[in-house]
């Protein structure tokens, strides 16, 4: 095959964005996540980033990152098993373990990588993975690469899950995989009940708490704290790039499992360690959460509620729940991009999800109001949302 023909296979269909007259993806951001962000040079309200607690530009977090750079430089240019395992790294592992209340923790360059690498290390071809049908791409890709049997269960549906578990005999080990906050839906898994089902059927629970860590629970410790799950025996993963306002991903759980992954998870062993700035920045965020979580969460919840009310008044279909975000059920791909365009043209950045991120014709437009925004900005945003609803 000629190389030109080969590359032609990758041509991208952008016709929908052309018809709608707006491509909401890969917008160029010219600032940090400040009160207003600069998008293609224009000031916009950020309802798109996962900066739940608004700490990505907090002066204390930036200072901690700067000090770490001054002490260690910008990179240790090595994987954690080699030169990447600095004292900051070890300390953050310990801090995160005690934060989520589990024995030990590994830190990887991203939670995508954590979820992607986990399953091929902890399963074998005689195992079964039962997974929520709305699970994140990183879980699905990781599960597929494990090469064991896979059964999806209906989203957050305990009866369906139990039915599958009842019929799943003859496997060496059964795993049940889900997320805490499903951020495209705005729903939260009934994880306490899922853990109980796992106990009843001797299955191993695996939870991705990426949108729950730093947000859910009385002190921000995530889904286990939120749902009062004590003595969790399963596997836990989360992103450090959302409420924890940095980057990276963790796998936490029993010491035996973490020790094994430390040497056998290629996604950890063969990938450059997180940078000193990010390690120190995450630790600074944990310090802030420890002392200020109540106040910050209050602000975040108030803003989320105000946005929710404006969406309802504007006639949008949204779920009300405890998730720290609002997700508009926008329907078709076209309707989803049109709504994102209307918001964009009036000064709001949102996150539109179309297939394959969500099922066909079940488009979503997600809005997350970070706690760093001011009441005036939220009032401006809610006014815009109401007016769009009236159009
Ligand atoms: C549920 C879930 N898991 C994992 C990830 C990946 O996290 P990271 O950005 O740390 O790779 C995301 C990010 O979109 C997510 O929403």
Whether 175 and 210 share a structural domain? yes
Is 2 inside any structural domain? no
Tell me, using a 6 A CB cutoff, whether residue 111 lines ligand 1.
yes
Tell me, using a 6 A CB cutoff, whether residue 276 lines ligand 1.
no
Determine the Cα–Cα distance for residues 254 and 105; give it in Å rounded to an integer.
9
Radius of gyration in angstroms for the set of CA atoms belonging to the chain, rounded to a whole number: 21
Judge whether residue 121 has pLDDT over 80.
yes
Whether 114 and 224 share a structural domain? yes
Is 70 inside any structural domain? no
Whether 88 and 49 share a structural domain? no
Q: Report, as an integer, the average pLDDT of 256-282.
A: 97
Tell me, using a 6 A CB cutoff, whether residue 178 lines ligand 1.
no
User: Encoding tokens for residue 261?
Assistant: 């992954």
Is 284 inside any structural domain? no
Q: What is the pLDDT of residue 387?
A: 94
Report the domain count for the chain: 2
Whether 369 and 308 share a structural domain? yes
Whether 310 and 368 share a structural domain? yes
Residues 54-89: tens digit of each pLDDT: 999 999 999 999 999 999 999 999 999 999 999 999
CATH number at residue 365: 3.90.1150.10
Tell me, using a 6 A CB cutoff, whether residue 212 lines ligand 1.
no
Residues 3-58: tens digit of each pLDDT: 888 888 887 778 888 888 899 999 999 999 998 999 998 999 999 999 999 999 99
3-class secondary-structure state, position 75: coil
* Residue of 49, 106, 112, 245 best suited for mutating to test ligand 1, as the one with most atoms within 8 Å of CB: 112
Verdict on whether the full-model pTM lies above 0.75: yes
Whether 300 and 204 share a structural domain? no
Whether 167 and 198 share a structural domain? yes
Percent of the chain with pLDDT over 90: 91
Determine the Cα–Cα distance for residues 356 and 77; give it in Å rounded to an integer.
35
Going from the Cα of 166 to the center of ligand 1, the distance in angstroms, rounded, reads 31
Tell me, using a 6 A CB cutoff, whether residue 253 lines ligand 1.
no
Going from the Cα of 112 to the center of ligand 1, the distance in angstroms, rounded, reads 6
Q: Domain containing 245: what range?
A: 75-274
Domain termination site, one of 214, 244, 274: 274
Whether 228 and 261 share a structural domain? yes
Q: What is the pLDDT of residue 9?
A: 85
Tell me, using a 6 A CB cutoff, whether residue 241 lines ligand 1.
yes
Is 194 inside any structural domain? yes
Residues 300-334: tens digit of each pLDDT: 999 999 999 999 999 999 987 789 999 999 999 99
Strand partners for 327: 366
Domain termination site, one of 274, 309, 338: 274
Q: Which helix (H) or strand (E) segment is 348 a member of?
A: strand 348-349
Question: What average pLDDT is seen over the chain?
Answer: 96
Whether 238 and 380 share a structural domain? no
Q: What is the pLDDT of residue 17?
A: 85
Q: What is the pLDDT of residue 2?
A: 85
Is 208 inside any structural domain? yes
Whether 217 and 260 share a structural domain? yes
Q: What is the pLDDT of residue 3?
A: 84
Q: What is the pLDDT of residue 241?
A: 98
Domain termination site, one of 245, 274, 303: 274
Whether 113 and 210 share a structural domain? yes
Is 358 inside any structural domain? yes
For the CA of 240, the nearest atom of ligand 1 = 10
Tell me, using a 6 A CB cutoff, whether residue 134 lines ligand 1.
no
Is 64 inside any structural domain? no
Determine the Cα–Cα distance for residues 317 and 297; give it in Å rounded to an integer.
25
Going from the Cα of 337 to the center of ligand 1, the distance in angstroms, rounded, reads 22
Tell me, using a 6 A CB cutoff, whether residue 210 lines ligand 1.
yes
Is 282 inside any structural domain? no
Are the C-beta atoms of 173 and 355 separated by less than 8 Å? Answer: no
Whether 17 and 128 share a structural domain? no
Going from the Cα of 169 to the center of ligand 1, the distance in angstroms, rounded, reads 32
CATH number at residue 213: 3.40.640.10
Judge whether residue 348 has pLDDT over 90.
yes
Going from the Cα of 313 to the center of ligand 1, the distance in angstroms, rounded, reads 31
């Amino acid at each position: 095959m000629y190389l030109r023909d080969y590359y032609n296979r990758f041509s991208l269909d952008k016709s929908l964005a052309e018809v709608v007259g707006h491509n909401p993806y890969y917008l160029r951001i010219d600032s940090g996540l400040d009160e207003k962000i600069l998008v293609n040079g224009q000031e916009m309200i950020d309802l798109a980033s996962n900066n739940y607690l608004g700490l990505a530009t907090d002066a204390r977090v930036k200072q901690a990152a700067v000090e770490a750079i001054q002490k260690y430089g910008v990179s240790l240019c090595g994987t954690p098993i080699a030169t990447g395992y600095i004292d900051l790294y070890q300390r953050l592992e310990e801090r995160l373990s005690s934060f989520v209340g589990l024995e030990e923790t590994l830190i990887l360059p991203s939670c995508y990588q954590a979820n992607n690498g986990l399953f091929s290390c902890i399963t074998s071809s005689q195992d079964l993975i039962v997974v929520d049908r709305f699970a994140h791409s990183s879980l699905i890709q990781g599960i597929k690469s494990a090469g064991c049997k896979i059964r999806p269960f209906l989203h957050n549906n305990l009866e369906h899950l139990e039915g599958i578990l009842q019929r799943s005999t003859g496997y060496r080990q059964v795993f049940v995989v889900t997320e805490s906050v499903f951020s495209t839906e705005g729903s939260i898994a009934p994880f306490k009940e899922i853990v109980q089902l796992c106990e009843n059927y001797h299955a191993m629970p695996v939870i991705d708490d990426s949108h729950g860590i730093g947000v859910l629970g009385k002190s921000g410790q995530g889904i286990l704290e939120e749902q009062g799950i004590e003595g969790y025996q399963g596997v836990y993963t989360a992103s450090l790039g959302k409420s924890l306002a940095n980057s990276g991903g963790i796998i936490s759980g029993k010491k035996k499992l973490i020790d094994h992954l430390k040497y056998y998870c290629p996604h950890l062993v063969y990938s450059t360690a997180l940078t000193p700035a990010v390690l120190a920045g995450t630790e600074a965020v944990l310090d802030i959460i420890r002392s200020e979580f109540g106040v910050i969460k209050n602000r975040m919840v108030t803003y989320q509620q105000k946005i929710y009310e404006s969406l309802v008044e504007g006639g949008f279909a949204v779920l009300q729940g405890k998730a720290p975000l609002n997700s508009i059920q926008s329907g078709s791909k076209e309707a989803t991009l049109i709504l994102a365009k209307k918001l964009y043209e009036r000064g709001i950045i949102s996150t539109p999800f179309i297939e394959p991120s969500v099922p066909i014709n079940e488009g979503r437009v997600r809005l997350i109001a970070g706690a760093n925004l001011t009441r005036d900005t939220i009032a401006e945003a809610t006014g815009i949302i109401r007016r769009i609803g009236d159009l």
